Amino acid sequence: MSLSDLERVATAMVAKDKGLLAADESTSTIGKRFAKIGVESTPEHRRDYREMLFASPGIAQWISGVILYDETIRQHTKAGVPFPEYLAKLGIIPGIKVDTGAKPLAGFPGETITEGLDGLRERLIEYYQLGARFAKWRAVIDIGAGLPTPFAIEANAHALARYAALCQEQNIVPIVEPEVLMDGAHGIERCDEVSSLVLSAVFSQLAAHRVHLEGMILKPNMVIAGKKASVQARPEQVAEATVRLLKRFVPAAVPGIMFLSGGQSAAEATLHLSLMNGLGPLPWQLSFSYGRALQDEALVTWSGKPGNVAAGAKAFQKWARLNGLARSGAYQPGAELRSA
Ligand code: 13P
């Protein structure tokens, strides 16, 4: 293992003005998104859609890397170039989702454990050969009556740390993603409390597993009220609570924190990131690793029609650029309506 390689890649992932496109939806998840726009989920359609995103003009200014799914890392552009090679030529680092999903945690109704550790070393070796230089593993923590349990938090933190150690052994930068869901009716304080327990457990397990913090990226949720909550926090509150939480639990050795959007609208996720970056100086880079917030408008604009590819690409480019601005606190709310 080369520590300097890991540090170099992790630092490049959070380069100035840049963040990640999470395009690693599983076949089942992208199938649901395609169903909403009336597109049949075939390997060709999934390839066409991802190619539209990756080929959007100029995105390398704002996109440092793309998280791919197992199918996508093996696919080619219409011109026959493997996707990882196509991205690398643009100066965009290919990454890969390596967990195999959150499954019911036996004995703990309503909670999940993320799977995918068996055979992971061998899969990482193959993914490295296919061009991946970073990986992602998502743990899912739901907030509900009496949930999460301390055991589910610990089990998920343990799995995240085992994954991270294996990645670093194979010279792949781990993105450690403990996602506290925003699906419930809980307020921002409850999200803060649960996220504290989760980050505390995660960094304790990372230390126990001897994970090299300088060669990893954290991908957390923001501190935010549940979608069904009667009171929503103001954007400034979300930004302040999130930065305060991260300062308590994330060591300064971690080069970057790249948020998930988690069901926030594109404008909300972009504004929150921008406000947080306005609260500096901060010990780490704060960036984005958005799936839906970067793709929602592009997906609907495209709607599976070849004639819409240019417009869909432009929609993705727009949100990539606005999040590039948010990296330095320079996104102005509503800018998406004024820019073409
Ligand atoms: P969202 O930004 O849509 O939450 O997706 C990010 C991601 O990679 C979730 O694992």
pLDDT per residue as tens digits for the range 126-136: 999 999 999 99
Banded model confidence at residue 339, pLDDT cuts 50, 70, 90: low
Alpha helices in the chain (DSSP H): 3-13, 27-36, 43-54, 70-73, 83-90, 120-129, 150-169, 188-208, 235-249, 266-277, 292-302, 309-326, 335-338
- The dihedrals phi and psi of 256, each to the nearest 5 degrees, come to -155, 150
* Among 89, 90, 41, CA closest to 69: 41
Could you identify the atom of ligand 1 that is nearest to the CA of residue 261? 2
- Kind and range of the H or E run holding 147: none
Place of tokens 């938090």: 153
What average pLDDT does the chain have? 97
User: Helix 309-326 and helix 292-302: axis angle, to 10°?
Assistant: 160
Mutate to test the pocket of ligand 1, among 32, 292, 316 (most ligand atoms within 8 A of CB): 292
Cβ of residue 178 lying under 6 Å from some atom of ligand 1: no
Rounded average pLDDT over 273-286: 97
pLDDT at residue number 340: 54
155: left (phi over 0), alpha (psi -120 to 50) or beta: alpha
Whether residue 1 is predicted with pLDDT greater than 60 in this model: the reply is: no
3-state secondary structure of 141: strand
Chain CA centroid to CA 127, Å? 18
Banded model confidence at residue 338, pLDDT cuts 50, 70, 90: confident
Give nearest CA residue, ligand 1 atom 8.
22
Residues carrying an active site annotation: 177, 219
The one-letter amino acid at 220: P
CA 258/CA 207 separation, integer angstroms: 20
Could you identify the atom of ligand 1 that is nearest to the CA of residue 294? 2
Helices and strands in the chain: count of H runs, count of E runs: 13, 10
